A and B are shown apart, each in its own frame.
Chain A
């Protein structure tokens, strides 16, 4: 299914790769981009999941994982789209600026259930650190998920499920 065909309110189950990246990683990424350097992660065609997992228990692919508040990172959204990101996943309402960015770039924003990290971790099959390892839970990870529950919260026409 194409990103542009998704409609606000639609529920889907996603299987595939996600790039886990939150506040400090995006701040660093912006510094790198602003200096005109090559980003350490190729974000073309990728979906960014705003999350910071808990520690990995031994024998498990990932620790408890779940979305963090997306609105905090609205200032970095256009940068992500410019680097090729097709969608973002997080929790909560976003700013008008973020809605406008989704419309302009024809990209979407999904929500996934928050505070359900134990259940979501069962849907993560693999995990590895891609960059900024020193940031600990805020490092950039690549995870592989199966049947990950998502709801389209902002679609590529700028329609949103949240009330004003």
Chain B
């Protein structure tokens, strides 16, 4: 049995860290950036850590990806533990409550930054791995799904991704981390595109054909020269990650999700 307080404490620490401490992979790239606003961007990394202030005022919606071993025993549903952890972190720290109750009619703030979004996947074994994204609204608004025709080729897929980033990339605080989900059903493709964002920049798709496509897209997206803050200096994307899944003979779903330049994410694991 994994103690719920143990899970909660570890998750809380990870969420706090993601919000106030610059992602080390990102930090290296920021250090080298010399374009417009570079002084403030660098100062921000320092101030947030020293004063425990969030790197960005949009402290996001927390999206969890839970990989639960089939032998794992818990005291309560994992979603309850995770929501409590989010509620506590956002109340204890000067983080923004950005979640509203009803999306369309009564957009009343929940005052806890919950509910979080929780996806659960059951896997073999005794371990529990929880990945998460602290996802800002501006980057989330760039999420897009296209149901392409099943005869569409790689070039058509690339064209769709590039056109989308070209038209909207500057709105989401570039450089961007780009996640692409190909295959499955519409919802599966979207989920895969999000899952792709939990990966570190260096990871590559295990299938060499997809790994090649990741590299090609990364290069071509950087040719757009959108740059840091959309101001034309520095790289446009950090990395492109593709997740793929079998699909129906009549379909080719392609989903694109992006993360902003801060790439606030985390991963914690527990053993039963």
9 nearest CB pairs, A to B: A118-B48, A54-B96, A119-B44, A116-B44, A113-B37, A92-B171, A117-B57, A118-B53, A57-B94
Interface: A137 (CB within 8 A): yes
Minimal Cβ-Cβ distance residue in A for B52:
A57
- Docked CA distance A70–B45 (Å): 24
Most B Cβ at <10 Å: residue of A65, A68, A93, A114: A114
Residues of A that sit less than 8 Å from B by CB: 11, 24, 51-57, 63-66, 68-69, 71-72, 91-93, 111, 113-122, 135-137, 149, 151, 161-163
- Taking CB atoms, residues of chain A closer than 8 Å to B40 are 113, 116, 119-120, 149
- Taking CB atoms, residues of chain B closer than 8 Å to A71 are 171
State which size class the interface on B falls in: 35 or more
* Chain B 33-67 residues near chain A, CB threshold 8 A: 36-37, 40-41, 43-44, 47-48, 51, 53-59
Q: Do A117 and B55 touch (CB < 8 A)?
A: yes
- Taking CB atoms, residues of chain B closer than 8 Å to A163 are 225-226, 232
Q: Do A92 and B44 touch (CB < 8 A)?
A: no
Q: Do A55 and B231 touch (CB < 8 A)?
A: no
Q: List 12 A-B contacts (CB under 8 A).
A: A11-B36, A63-B94, A64-B54, A64-B56, A65-B57, A93-B171, A113-B40, A116-B37, A117-B55, A119-B43, A137-B98, A149-B37
Q: Do A63 and B173 touch (CB < 8 A)?
A: no
Q: A69-B171, A149-B37 are in contact. Are A161 and B231 (CB under 8 A)?
A: yes
Minimal Cβ-Cβ distance residue in A for B171:
A92
- Taking CB atoms, residues of chain A closer than 8 Å to B172 are 69, 92
> What is the distance, in angstroms, from A164's C-beta to the closest C-beta of chain B?
9
- Docked CA distance A69–B96 (Å): 17
- Taking CB atoms, residues of chain A closer than 8 Å to B37 are 113, 116, 149, 151
> What is the distance, in angstroms, from B153's C-beta to the closest C-beta of chain A?
27
Q: Which one of B44, B96, B261 lies within 8 Å of A55 (CB-CB)?
A: B96
- Taking CB atoms, residues of chain B closer than 8 Å to A162 are 170, 230
> What is the distance, in angstroms, from B223's C-beta to the closest C-beta of chain A?
12
- Docked CA distance A116–B47 (Å): 10
Q: Do A115 and B55 touch (CB < 8 A)?
A: yes
- Taking CB atoms, residues of chain B closer than 8 Å to A93 are 170-171, 230
Q: Which one of A53, A115, A151 lies within 8 Å of B44 (CB-CB)?
A: A115
Q: Do A136 and B51 touch (CB < 8 A)?
A: no
- Docked CA distance A99–B171 (Å): 16
- Taking CB atoms, residues of chain A closer than 8 Å to B44 are 113, 115-120
- Taking CB atoms, residues of chain A closer than 8 Å to B56 are 64, 66, 114-117
- Docked CA distance A149–B231 (Å): 14
- Taking CB atoms, residues of chain B closer than 8 Å to A117 are 44, 53-58
